[in-house]
Each structure stands twice: as structure tokens, then as C-alpha cells.
């Protein structure tokens, strides 16, 4: 029987316990590609932080020998002096991310779950890479935003192709159309890609805290569209945010 994997996107505002609910409860061992410095501070699970150059050795380990959570924190890879050239810093992060993803593809992914947190950080790194490699395109947002959207979609699709669960944590933004007056909350990613991004996931949720309990909305609600699950039965409006509450035993 073919193994089934989740390909989840989880969007929400700051402090909606997006990262914590996923890292604490999703299948282990897990590797987290972390762009948000301090994003794992809420996690109680043991975390082993590694450098990208250590990843090939970890890929060779038996799954049972891996720590519960392995993390590569891109924002802390090098100690740098303050630098006003954002493009060069983000370009370094983008190149490190490229090496990490290709390592997982070539050497094999031994982890049960891969988490990218947040996609906003990955987007910034890709924009910085474009700024270094195609600096002229930075003069026109229509050019660099489109290219960043293309690179981001490629990255997501490659990671979704790994033999494991994948979860992408996303920030969101709420905008009002000045012509129609329509208000909509969408993923905070460059270009019009944000409008179709939910469709490339098998599950796309909106994270909230209600009465102190982390929850996810699994159906469109208010100004938020594109939520749902690709499963035969209709998902409930909202569910507790932990893995078992959402998926039950469907992916055991």
C-alpha cells in the first residue's frame, strides 16, 4: 500500500501558535527549516540544531537514531556585523536553503515531517537572491515579484515531492480593494501567486487561539478564503490544531 502524506499550509497572525502546534504534535522525527529567529522558543520537544553542512551525515542515519526535532535556523547560520545590504544577507540564506533542499532530495529524507517556518522568510531570501543575480529587475516590482513567486512555487513543489509529510507555516495580510470595497485575508507572499497558493496544498488552514485553545479553521470564514481539505468527507468548520485532532488515524 502506498504511504499517504499530508501537504499542509497553515496561515495565521502572529502568536496564533502556528509553529508550536505543528512542531509539538506532528509525526517525529521532524526537520524544521526555520527562518524566524526564536520561532522554536515555544517548543518543549528536544531540538538538535545543526548546520547545513552536517545534513548529509544526518540523512545517512537510521530514522530511529534521529532526534525528535532537527532544526536548521537560517537566520543564525553565521555571526555577522550589521549590514545595510539586505540583498547580500538574504542571498546567502537562499543559497543555503538551496543546498539543504537538494541534499534532502539527493541523499534521502529520513524524517517523517518537514516544516518550513515561515514562508515569509523564504520569500525574503528569494527576493534577496533576485536582487543579487538580476539587480535590474528590482526596479520594477512586477518583475521581481513574479520571479520570486515562481521560485517559491518551485521550492514548495520540490519539498512536497519528498517521501514525508510537509507543512508550510505562513504569515497573512488583510487588504481592502479600494474599488470594490472587498476585504480579504491572504498569505503574505509576493505577486499574484498568493491568490492561488492555497490550491497547491492538500490541506490549507487558518490558525487561531480561542479561549486559550489553539484551533484551525478548515472552511472559509469571514474574509478568509481558500481554506479546506482534499478529502472525501467535508471538513468541519474548525478543529483543534494538533495532528491527531485534524487527521485522526488517516496517516498512520
Contact yes or no for 34/72 (Cβ under 8 A)? yes
- Please report, for residues 86, 163, 168, 172, the alpha-carbon distance to residue 240 in angstroms, rounded to integers and kept in the order given: 38, 26, 18, 20
Which pLDDT value is given to residue 136? 77
Which pLDDT value is given to residue 201? 96
C-alpha cell at 202: 492538500
- Give dist(CA 160, CA 165) in Å, integer: 8
The strand pairing partners of 238, in sequence order, are: 217
Residue spans per domain, the chain = 7-247
Which pLDDT value is given to residue 211? 95
- The segments of the chain whose pLDDT lies below 50 read 1
Integer-rounded Cα Rg, in Å, for the chain is 18
pTM given for the model: 0.91
Specify the fold of 7-247.
Rossmann fold (3.40.50)
- Please report, for residues 85, 190, 200, 231, 232, the alpha-carbon distance to residue 196 in angstroms, rounded to integers and kept in the order given: 32, 12, 7, 19, 22
Amino acid at each position: 500500500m502506498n504511504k499517504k502524506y499530508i501537504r499542509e499550509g497553515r496561515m495565521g497572525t502572529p502568536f496564533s501558535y502556528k509553529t508550536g502546534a505543528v512542531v509539538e504534535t506532528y509525526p517525529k522525527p521532524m526537520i524544521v527549516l526555520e527562518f524566524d529567529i526564536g520561532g522554536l522558543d515555544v517548543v518543549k520537544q528536544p531540538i538538535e540544531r545543526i548546520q547545513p553542512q552536517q545534513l548529509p551525515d544526518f540523512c545517512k542515519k537510521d530514522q530511529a537514531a534521529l532526534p525528535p526535532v532537527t532544526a536548521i535556523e537560517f537566520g543564525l547560520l553565521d555571526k555577522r556585523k550589521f549590514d545595510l545590504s539586505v540583498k547580500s544577507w538574504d542571498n546567502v540564506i537562499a543559497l543555503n536553503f538551496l543546498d539543504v533542499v537538494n541534499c534532502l532530495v539527493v541523499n534521502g529524507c529520513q524524517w517523517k515531517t518537514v516544516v518550513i517556518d515561515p514562508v515569509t522568510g523564504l520569500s525574503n531570501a528569494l527576493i534577496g537572491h533576485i536582487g543579487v543575480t538580476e539587480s535590474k529587475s528590482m526596479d520594477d516590482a512586477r518583475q521581481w515579484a513574479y520571479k520570486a513567486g515562481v521560485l517559491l512555487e518551485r521550492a514548495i513543489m520540490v519539498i512536497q515531492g519528498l517521501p514525508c509529510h510537509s507543512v508550510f507555516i505562513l504569515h497573512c495580510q488583510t487588504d481592502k480593494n479600494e474599488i470594490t470595497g472587498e476585504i480579504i485575508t491572504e498569505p503574505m507572499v509576493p505577486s499574484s501567486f498568493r491568490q492561488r497558493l492555497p490550491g497547491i496544498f492538500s490541506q490549507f488552514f487558518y490558525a487561531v487561539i480561542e479561549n486559550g485553545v489553539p484551533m484551525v479553521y478548515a472552511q472559509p470564514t469571514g474574509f478568509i478564503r481558500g481554506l479546506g481539505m482534499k478529502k472525501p468527507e467535508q471538513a468541519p468548520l474548525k478543529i483543534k490544531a494538533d495532528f491527531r485532532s485534524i487527521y485522526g488515524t488517516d496517516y498512520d
